[in-house]
């Protein structure tokens, strides 16, 4: 949220932007691993 | 990866052919944007509210609407439809990696996320909101919103695969609302720098 907000309200504040992307990438990786495990074990 | 892309294209066609499922994902975030701005814009006038950086309150609320739109993905419900209709079992019987079934859905959600975020930001521009970080900021804004769409769809897909129930999957999606209200949604947190 803060990363998106900084992009709209401020100039490029890389500390906030990178933090936002890092959170999304980490959570995305967790979800991907979880889904791959679930679909491989689906019967 | 080719199989995932083909299944992603199928998921996109599915979404395109079901506009009833796609339109609320644009309408509801816009509704929240208008209602929240209508409620709080007078409390936070742009000229005397430091955290707005000279913009209107709509600019502060737009990220909430972007996240809301990104969290309304329909991938998991379409997957449950495939499971209930038997198409999922047919896919499992074909010689494609099972992971491509999930990846296809996530690719489609990323594309839909880009389209929805672009539409919302462009609508915001029409209503006087500007992206202070410029063209690169616009691209990053859309990219981050689309990435969140993939994350939340991944969560929903895991519920769909675990429960195989449309009701459970639909209810799980509602978890976004309490999470949204745990964020500094209406006013900047006093711990956040202006």
Question: Domain ranges in chain B?
Answer: 2-181
What's the mean pLDDT in B58-86? 89
Q: Inform me whether the C-beta atom of residue A25 falls under 8 Å from chain B C-beta atoms.
A: yes
Mean pLDDT of B23-43: 88
Of all residues in chain B, the one with the smallest CA distance to A35 is B158
Q: Which of B1, B99, B180 to mutate to test the interface with A (most CBs of A within 10 A)?
A: B99
pLDDT at B148 over 90: yes
Residues B186 and B40 sit within 8 Å (Cβ to Cβ)? yes
B144: nearest CB among A12, A20, A34: A20
B127 pLDDT band, cuts 50/70/90, is confident
Residue B72: pLDDT band by 50, 70, 90 thresholds?
Answer: confident
Q: Do the Cβ atoms of B161 and A39 come within 8 Å?
A: yes
Angle in degrees, CA B170, B171, B177, rounded to 5: 110
pLDDT over 70 for what percent of chain B?
97
Q: Report the pLDDT averaged over residues B89-112.
A: 92
State both tokens at B170.
Answer: 């639909």
Tell me what pLDDT residue B138 has: 94
Are B99 and A1 a contacting pair at CB < 8 A?
A: no
* pLDDT of B19 over the 90 cut: no
Gap between the Cα atoms of B36 and B33, Å rounded: 5
Interface contact B52-A9, CB threshold 8 A:
yes
Min distance A17 CA to chain B CA atoms (Å): 8
Residue B144 has pLDDT above 60, yes or no: yes
Residues of A in contact with B163 (CB under 8 A): none
Largest CA distance in chain B: 63
Whether residue A9 and residue B148 make contact (CB cut-off 8 A), yes or no, is: no
Mean pLDDT of B63-83: 89
Cβ contacts of B190 within 8 Å, gap of 6 or more? none
CA atoms of B14 and B24, how far apart (whole Å): 16
Q: Among partner residues B67, B132, B154, which is closest to A8 by beta-carbon distance?
A: B132
Whether residue B191 lies within 8 A of chain A, CB to CB, comes out as: no
Name the packing angle between helices B75-85 and B134-163 (round to 10°): 30
- Chain B nearest-CA distance from A26, in A, is 9
What is chain B's mean pLDDT, rounded?
Answer: 88
Q: How crowded is residue B103: how many other Cβ atoms within 10 Å of its Cβ?
A: 21
């Amino acid at each position: 949220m803060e990363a998106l907000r900084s992009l709209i309200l401020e100039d490029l504040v890389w500390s906030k932007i990178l933090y936002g992307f890092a959170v999304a990438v980490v959570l995305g990786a967790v979800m991907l691993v979880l889904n791959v495990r679930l679909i491989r074990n689906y019967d | 990866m080719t199989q995932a892309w083909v299944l992603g294209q199928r998921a996109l066609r599915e979404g395109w052919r079901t506009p009833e499922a796609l339109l609320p994902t644009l309408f509801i975030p816009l509704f929240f944007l208008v209602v929240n701005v209508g409620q709080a814009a007078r409390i936070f006038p742009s000229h005397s509210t430091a955290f707005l950086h000279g913009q209107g309150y709509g600019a502060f609320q737009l990220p909430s609407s972007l996240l809301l739109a990104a969290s309304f993905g329909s991938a998991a419900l379409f997957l449950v439809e495939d499971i209930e209709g038997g198409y999922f079992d047919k896919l499992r019987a074909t010689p494609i990696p099972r992971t491509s079934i999930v990846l296809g859905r996530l690719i489609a959600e990323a594309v839909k996320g880009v389209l929805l975020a672009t539409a919302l930001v462009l609508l915001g521009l029409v209503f006087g909101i500007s992206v202070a970080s410029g063209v690169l900021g616009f691209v990053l804004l859309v990219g981050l919103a689309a990435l969140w769409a993939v994350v939340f769809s991944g969560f929903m897909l895991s519920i769909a695969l675990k429960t195989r129930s449309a009701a459970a999957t639909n209810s799980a999606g509602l978890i976004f609302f309490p999470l949204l209200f745990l964020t500094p949604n209406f006013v900047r947190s006093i711990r956040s720098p202006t």
